[in-house]
Amino acid sequence: MLTKEDTVKDKEEEEEEKEKPRFNFNLYMVEKARSVNQALNDAVLLREPQKIHEAMRYSLLAGGKRVRPVLCIAACELVGGNESTAMAAACSIEMIHTMSLIHDDLPCMDNDDLRRGKPTNHKVFGEDIAVLAGDALLAFAFEHIAVSTSGVSPERIVAAIGELAKSVGTEGLVAGQVVDINSEGLSDVGLERLEFIHLHKTAALLEGAVVIGAILGGGSNEHVENLRMFARYVGLMFQVVDDVLDVTKSSKELGKTAGKDLVADKVTYPKLLGIEKSNEFAQKLNRDAQQQLSGFDPVKAAPLIALANYIAYRQN
């Protein structure tokens, strides 16, 4: 039986709950993206040779959701670091991501004409300059994280650079891309091979972003590994959702060519599982990802939880 005191206490707790500021994900993303965009603009200046820097800036500053750099910053803040600590690394990750998009769109790869609602880099600057713009962004990414990261021990910077290199090389993005290319047109590509492609081609750089943020923020080995698993689940979920959107949304809605996986005869999750089962798999990956954050302060983990939900339910 409730006493008068219990009722008063319950009401006080309700009022306290109401007064707690709720995490505003949209505002968070706008503010972080603005900071990242400004840092990218400051990092890659328009200078001689002008043509190559124009091409680099054209794709790097073309917009986009900035999911990877924001993941890096959020992971850094979760373990006790701050935005400025992770910003150089966040920009380096976005440079590498942009490189991968420029190269992915080339005629020898996916042969795409549209990216982020604009003509692809090679359509504007030519294939030769597009290749070199991607190469330049890749090289500068490593210079930038090494030279511009401040307030962090050399040991942690070296560890972060090692993670960045692994995420983009033959243990990461390149491995996934190669197996993806070699799988086109094959009829016997199963779920295991598809998962390998996406864990490397897409998830590896997302994983690198989170792990690098945690390392630079001073995270313990246990925290870093928890966040690694979180990012791996989120990275795979990102691609499952991407596969579904490719067959359910228009080019205008996506800001890139829709249905291109179907045209290239690529194996996708909807092709193997169907759309409904693919959506169910994405939801499971989201739950598994968020379980990895259960040991962290829920207030500090709110940005990563919201980012996972955003990736799970995004429409483009």
In a domain, 274, yes or no: yes
In a domain, 8, yes or no: no
Give the model's confidence band at 315: pLDDT under 50 very low, under 70 low, under 90 confident, else very high.
confident
Q: What is the DSSP code string of 238-264?
A: HHHHHHHHHHHS-HHHHTS-TTHHHHT
More confident residue, 12 or 132: 132
- Average pLDDT value for residue range 167-195: 92
pLDDT at 247: 87
Contact (Cβ atoms closer than 8 angstroms) between residue 234 and residue 311: yes
pLDDT at 195: 95
pTM here? 0.89
137/57 Cα distance (integer angstroms): 10
For 99-110, give one letter per residue: b (16+ CB within 10 A) or e: bbbbbbbbeeeb
Give the model's confidence band at 216: pLDDT under 50 very low, under 70 low, under 90 confident, else very high.
very high
Give the model's confidence band at 262: pLDDT under 50 very low, under 70 low, under 90 confident, else very high.
low
At 62, is the secondary structure helix, strand, or coil?
A: coil
pLDDT at 96: 98
The domain in which residue 59 lies consists of: 25-313
In a domain, 150, yes or no: yes
pLDDT at 222: 96
pLDDT at 253: 59
User: Cis bond leading into 49, ω under 30°?
Assistant: yes
Residues with Cβ within 8 Å of residue 198, at least 6 apart in sequence: 176, 235, 236, 239, 240
In a domain, 108, yes or no: yes
204/176 Cα distance (integer angstroms): 9
58/137 Cα distance (integer angstroms): 12
For 57-88, give one letter per residue: b (16+ CB within 10 A) or e: bbbbebebebbbbbbbbbbbbbbebebebbbb
In a domain, 281, yes or no: yes
pLDDT at 189: 87
pLDDT greater than 90 at residue 280: yes
pLDDT greater than 70 at residue 10: no
More confident residue, 61 or 3: 61
pLDDT greater than 90 at residue 186: no
Residues of the chain with pLDDT > 90, as a percent, come to 80
Total domain count, the chain: 1
Give the model's confidence band at 80: pLDDT under 50 very low, under 70 low, under 90 confident, else very high.
very high
> In this structure, what token pair is assigned to residue 137?
């962004």
pLDDT greater than 60 at residue 27: yes
pLDDT digits (tens, 9 = 90+) for 144-177: 999 999 999 999 999 999 999 999 999 999 999 9
- Average pLDDT value for residue range 7-14: 57
At 223, is the secondary structure helix, strand, or coil?
A: helix
- Angle in degrees, CA 98, 213, 141, rounded to 5: 35
In a domain, 40, yes or no: yes
User: What residue type is assigned to position 192 of the chain?
Assistant: E
Give the model's confidence band at 188: pLDDT under 50 very low, under 70 low, under 90 confident, else very high.
confident
Provide the 8-state DSSP code for 113: S
pLDDT at 117: 87
32/23 Cα distance (integer angstroms): 14
At 1, is the secondary structure helix, strand, or coil?
A: coil
In a domain, 20, yes or no: no
In a domain, 164, yes or no: yes
CATH number for 308: 1.10.600.10
* Mean pLDDT estimate for the chain: 91
pLDDT at 134: 98
- Angle in degrees, CA 259, 261, 267, rounded to 5: 135
305/75 Cα distance (integer angstroms): 11
